[in-house]
Structure 1
């Protein structure tokens, strides 16, 4: 039970962050958290990646592997977003 919970946690963290980022970009639900969705992955995604690594070492399931990959991609997204935004739109 705990093994599956760790794997689900490693998937749940980037899923919630992705929902926040999509809401930030497209303003689906107006929130007053301004740039926070682009900063949160730097803090929270390493925690999710570690949870995925622990879950993968415990029972070698694909859910934990997907959690690790999803967290790493989401960690790199704000960096790419800022670089592309700076190159295309300026400061």
Structure 2
């Protein structure tokens, strides 16, 4: 699936989905990672960009363009250090 726009054949990705790092992507991600997704569109990575992670329904999940520009499909969820330790929040 390498075209742009909505894909009504697939139900979309809404929830947590596994993505897999490419060889280049392993410098940035674990080999397998679950991310929050909420979309039904595909996108193309820019010419000359490196694909960093792929998904089963939507191939392009993360890319790097040059050394300082990155694109991510999954939602970034950050848990504060306090929330990561149950029973320690005051």
TM-score (norm 1): 0.24
More helix by share: 1
More strand by share: 2
